[in-house]
Amino acid sequence: MLFHSRALSVPSPAGAMRRVWYKAGSTASIATVAKNGLRMPRVGVAGATGAVGIEMRKKLEERGFPMESLKLFAHPSEEGTPIEYAGKTHLCESVKEGCFDELDICLFSAGGGFSKEWAPKAAAAGCIVVDNSSVFRMDPNCPLVVPEVNAHAVGRHKGIIANPNCTTILMNVPVFPLHKAFKVERAVVSTYQAASGAGLDAMRELEQQARDWTAGKSPVTQEIFGRQYIWNLFSHNSPQYQDNGYNEEEWKMVEETPKIFEGPFRVGVTCVRVPVLRAHCESINLQFSRRVTLAEVYEVLNAAPGIRVVDDRVNNQHPEPQKVSGLDEILVGRVRHDVSAHVADGGAPLTEAGGYGIDMFIAGDQLLKGAALNAVQIAELLLVKD
């Protein structure tokens, strides 16, 4: 262990016993657990004034998340900043030693460096961390959770639960039910990623570039990405691995998806930044182990949680960033057979039994289901249900 600790066994949300780790000499978390389990937890949001943190606060309030108290953590320069939540004014606090001792759950969205330093300390104090950074996603001791896919994994947490990458979440929600039904042999994904994935400053810079362009300013403001973003597309700005050519954003989906699906899953991905404010889109090609009809695909998609099929071929109405911004659901459309798919049975590419692959196009709000909403849904899984 990284700290001197003891363990207390208490009922988990599923009714089994779980172990809550706490620092020797600290009784805050024990008192709350003994009093009400996680029926009315004391909640925190770290990074509460950032793009994702703002949406975390909104979703906690919109969904009526039960809580005894709320603490909002922000940059030291924002300490004392008033924020309204559920009709009450809360003053932002800066993070310091001991600040998590009085909390039961804290949603983290303050960057990888912050999470690496403070998430273990929070967990050691008995506060369960739902972390939006990439730091703990591939840690075998930390569940990586998309509630529509592997909600049960929350029960294995040891104080930290990782929120997957935004593109991974958005792809996993519609693909997993298809994988369960038809076994996906391989997926090929291209992403169209909004400014919101790079934070509030990137969103503001895209808006500023639009103003610069309108005013005839050249070059436009380029402080975040170091290039013109408006009227442009470019390879995702995460570092590229020199050995295989993938960038970090792409590799997240490659690594994270099998962990979430709890089994092998082959996916190739190309990530591109597009001049959109807050909703990601993805083009997804799936190859199945057997022939599948579009009727079967639609039946699975229409029954799956967290998605809405938007697929009007006549009027060319399909998923778009504008349509999905502000929505909890992921929009799925452009569903069609992949006529180039490998034909395992040696027959025609398409028969009455369908084909071996499909293409589809999805859109999801990166700040909501791609980050804040998924984190709040994870926190909801921790609550004790009477």
Residue that finishes a domain, picked among 90, 116, 135 = 135
Please check whether residue 156 lies inside any domain of the structure. Answer: no
Residues 365 and 264 in one domain: yes
Residue 94 domain-assigned? Answer: yes
pLDDT at 30 over 80: no
Same domain, 193 and 108: no
Is the confidence at residue 28, as pLDDT, over 80? no
Q: Write down which residue in 89, 118, 135 finishes a domain.
A: 135
Reported pTM: 0.88
Domain that holds residue 61: 5-135
- 211 lies in the same domain as 356: yes
Answer yes or no: do 312 and 199 share one domain. yes
More confident residue, 196 or 212: 212
Catalytic residue among 179, 280, 318, 337: 280
> pLDDT per residue over 303-349, tens digit each?
999 999 999 999 999 999 999 999 999 999 999 999 999 898 999 99
Does residue 200 form part of some domain?
Answer: yes
Q: Identify the band that residue 112 occupies on the pLDDT scale cut at 50, 70 and 90.
A: very high
Give residue 240's pLDDT: 84
Of the residues 92, 127, 142, 166, only one is catalytic, namely 166
Question: Domain containing 195 — which CATH number?
Answer: 3.30.360.10
Q: Does 213 fall in a domain?
A: yes
Please report whether residue 155 resides in a domain.
no
90 catalytic per annotation: no
Say if residue 199 is in the same domain as residue 282.
yes
Do residue 180 and residue 124 come from a single domain? no
Same domain, 11 and 108: yes
Residues 6 or more apart from 7 whose CB is under 8 A from it?
Answer: 19, 20, 21
- pLDDT mean over 25-36: 38
Cβ-in-10-Å burial (0-12, 13-18, 19+) of 1 comes to exposed
pLDDT tens digits for range 238-279: 888 878 889 999 999 999 999 999 999 999 999 999 999 999
Tell me the average pLDDT across 111-121: 97
Q: What is the pLDDT of residues 360-373, one digit of tens each?
A: 999 999 999 999 99
Looking at residue 287, what is its pLDDT? 97
**Catalytic residue at 280?**
yes
Answer yes or no: is 215 within a domain: yes
Q: Are residues 116 and 229 in the same domain?
A: no
Q: Average the pLDDT over 72-81 and give the result.
A: 96
Domain co-membership, 222 together with 338? yes
Q: What is the mean pLDDT of the chain?
A: 90
Residues near 322 by Cβ (< 8 Å), separated by ≥ 6?
A: 279
Q: Is residue 216 part of a domain?
A: yes
377 assigned to some structural domain: no
pLDDT value for 386? 67
Residue 127's φ and ψ, nearest 5 degrees, are -95, 125
pLDDT band at 16 (very low <50, low <70, confident <90, very high): very low
Same domain, 121 and 192: no
Same domain, 131 and 173: no
Considering its fold, how many domains does the chain have in total? 2
CATH number at residue 77: 3.40.50.720
Per-residue confidence (pLDDT) for residue 37, from 0 to 100? 60
pLDDT digits (tens, 9 = 90+) for 232-248: 999 998 888 878 889 99
Instruction: Kindly tell me if the per-residue pLDDT of 168 is higher than 70.
Output: yes
Residues 130 and 260 in one domain: no
